[in-house]
């Protein structure tokens, strides 16, 4: 057993509790938050190296052996997600220092930030499906407060939509967990896989599987994603970065984990629905991205496209496709966090999010413009950047699975991503600058954070073979769920 697994959860939890009593001491909150985030990165690096060297790590809380007690599980998939989330959230935290107003900082912004990370890390590391629900709720309660923090009219309107869709999905989630326990007598994920295999996935278990698919797809923005573009446009840019980088990824993780470990007996039903939803997300997300001319909505629709791309890998469900889904998921967490940071900087220097009111920014802010252009190439999947390797694996896996139409939709959506992001680059940075005097904004700190994250995106692409040596171990557990079951149930 490894006590290391609980540290990614304990560190932000203790940090959040400590920051509650430091409401007025903003500088001290920033320092403590920075130290906490650095500790979490260090713990995540150690966790990844330990899993790489020694295999899947488990922790049985209270010494209760599964399936009776609560278990935390760190396989390579979960460990890589924890590390990527830790690095991305650290960059977003540093960006918050210069972009979040003092009033919002004093309204427990950093407390909520760390509580949200508790939910994210806990969701990745739990081996119990009820605790997955608990960590989801920790994450969601924090996001409810963050999306409404500031109390603007737009925030209040969009937070109602966000609250409604997530309350409905959480209600369905707890109902699905109750039905699953009634049908199998266990909530341990590894044990659930065994019980479902013994009983077969027909009848009531088939209905429960579809119910879980609806729940996790709602939370990931894969199913009925109409709420996402408006809701993610409401909060400040740092919160948008946090949401775009992490929230939908937790939902995607839940879909990937559940339908490669527990409900794998009847892919003809579940994976067919996943394929249809993936196609819809890529097509409709792409159309939304090219249709709008304000930066927040363009970026939010790009989130939906990437959700569809990862779901495409699960629908194909072979080795290349699942490896590609993992690789692309890691790339997307980093790149989307950076994309929203750069988008926030563009809105700040342009004074508006409407592209028709922008132009000529390349003259005053060339570094921001060219960073945005390079990131666009990475997101689209132009070699040698990080998006290329993930998309190649996904398309190859899709073709091997006989999903030619879905593969073509994936390629087509990449062109829509390219068009939508180049539109921002062209209209915001080139052309004639609007009339009127505009003061220069000091964004050196945010630019430095962006440059560091961009370097990581580039390194992830240029060193794709090295990254793949870790990703393939994560993919092995998804392709061969027996590895996960054996690691959890062996003691």
Q: Cα 485–486–488 angle (5° rounding)?
A: 65
- How far is Cα 2 from Cα 63, in angstroms, rounded to an integer? 12
Q: Which two tokens stand for residue 70?
A: 């609560």
Q: What is the pLDDT of residue 150?
A: 76
Contacts 24+ apart (CB under 8 A), 67-70: 67/186, 67/187, 67/188, 67/190, 67/191, 67/489, 70/126, 70/128, 70/131
Q: What is the pLDDT of residue 140?
A: 93
Q: Which two tokens stand for residue 43?
A: 């713990």
- How far is Cα 377 from Cα 375, in angstroms, rounded to an integer? 5
Q: Cα 141–306–298 angle (5° rounding)?
A: 80
CB–CB of 191/489 below 8 Å? yes
Burial track 318-347 (b if 16+ CB lie within 10 A, e otherwise) = bbbbbbbbbbbbbbbbbbbbbbbbbbbbbb
Q: Which two tokens stand for residue 261?
A: 């470990």
Q: Give the pTM.
A: 0.95
Burial track 19-37 (b if 16+ CB lie within 10 A, e otherwise) = beeeeeebeebbebbeebb
Q: What is the pLDDT of residue 353?
A: 85
Walk along the chain (491 residues) and give the pLDDT tens digit of each residue: 678 999 999 999 999 999 999 888 999 999 999 999 999 999 999 999 999 999 999 998 877 877 788 899 999 999 999 999 999 999 999 999 988 888 888 889 999 999 999 999 999 999 999 999 999 999 999 999 999 887 678 788 888 888 888 899 999 999 999 999 999 999 999 999 999 998 887 789 999 999 999 999 998 988 878 888 888 888 889 999 999 999 999 999 999 999 999 998 888 888 899 999 999 999 999 999 999 999 999 999 999 999 999 999 999 999 999 999 999 999 999 999 999 999 999 999 888 888 888 888 898 899 999 999 999 999 999 988 888 999 999 999 999 999 999 999 999 999 999 999 999 999 999 877 776 656 667 788 899 999 999 999 999 999 999 999 999 999 999 999 999 999 998 75
Q: What is the pLDDT of residue 326?
A: 96
Q: What is the pLDDT of residue 157?
A: 82
What is the number of other CB atoms lying within 10 angstroms of the CB of residue 157? 12
- How far is Cα 11 from Cα 8, in angstroms, rounded to an integer? 6
List C-alpha distances in Å: 9 to 52, 116, 409.
Answer: 21, 10, 38
CB–CB of 143/247 below 8 Å? yes
Domain ranges of the chain: 4-489
Cα dihedral across residues 65, 66, 68, 70: positive or negative: positive
* Cα end-to-end distance, the chain, whole Å: 10
Q: What is the pLDDT of residue 437?
A: 58
């Amino acid at each position: 057993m490894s006590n290391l697994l609980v540290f990614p959860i304990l560190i932000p939890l203790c940090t959040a509790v400590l920051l509650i009593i430091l409401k007025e001491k903003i500088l001290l909150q920033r320092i403590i938050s920075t130290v906490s985030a650095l500790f979490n990165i260090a713990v995540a690096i150690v966790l990844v190296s330990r899993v790489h060297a020694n295999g899947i790590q488990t922790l049985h809380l209270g010494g209760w052996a599964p399936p009776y007690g609560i278990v935390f599980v760190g396989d390579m998939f979960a460990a890589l997600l924890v590390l990527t989330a830790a690095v991305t959230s650290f960059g977003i935290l540093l960006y918050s220092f210069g972009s979040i107003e003092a009033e919002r900082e004093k309204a427990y912004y950093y407390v909520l930030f760390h509580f949200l990370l508790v939910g994210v890390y806990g969701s990745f590391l739990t081996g119990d499906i009820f605790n997955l629900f608990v960590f989801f709720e920790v994450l969601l309660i924090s996001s409810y407060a963050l999306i409404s923090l500031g109390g603007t009219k737009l925030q209040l309107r969009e937070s109602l939509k966000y609250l409604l869709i997530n309350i409905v999905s959480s209600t369905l989630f707890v109902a699905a967990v109750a039905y699953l326990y009634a049908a199998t007598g266990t909530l341990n994920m590894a044990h659930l896989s065994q019980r479902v295999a013994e009983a077969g996935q027909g009848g009531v278990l088939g209905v429960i599987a579809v119910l879980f698919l609806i729940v996790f797809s709602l939370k990931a923005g894969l199913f009925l994603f109409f709420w996402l573009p408006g809701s993610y446009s409401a909060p400040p840019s740092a919160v948008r970065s946090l949401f775009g980088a992490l929230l939908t990824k937790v939902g995607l993780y839940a879909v990937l984990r559940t339908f490669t470990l527990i409900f794998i007996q009847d892919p003809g039903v579940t994976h067919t629905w996943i394929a249809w939803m993936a196609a819809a997300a890529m097509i409709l997300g792409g159309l939304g991205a090219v249709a709008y001319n304000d930066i927040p909505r363009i970026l939010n629709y790009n989130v939906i496209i990437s959700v569809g791309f990862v779901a495409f890998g699960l629908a194909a469900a072979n080795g290349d496709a699942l490896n590609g889904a993992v690789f692309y998921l890691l790339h997307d967490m980093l790149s989307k966090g950076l994309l929203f940071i750069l988008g926030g900087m563009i809105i700040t220097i342009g004074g508006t999010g409407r592209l028709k009111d922008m132009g000529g920014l390349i003259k005053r802010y060339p570094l921001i413009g060219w960073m945005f252009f390079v990131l666009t190439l990475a997101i689209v999947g132009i070699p040698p950047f990080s998006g290329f390797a993930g998309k190649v694996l996904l398309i190859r896996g899709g073709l091997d699975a006989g999903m030619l139409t879905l593969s073509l939709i994936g390629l087509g959506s990449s062109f829509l991503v390219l068009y939508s992001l180049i539109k921002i680059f062209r209209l915001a940075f080139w052309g004639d600058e609007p009339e009127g005097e505009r003061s220069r904004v000091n964004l050196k700190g945010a630019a430095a954070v962006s440059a560091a994250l961009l370097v990581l995106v580039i390194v992830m692409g240029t060193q794709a073979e090295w990254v793949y040596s870790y990703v393939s171990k994560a993919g092995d557990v998804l392709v061969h769920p027996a590895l996960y079951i054996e690691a959890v149930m062996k003691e």
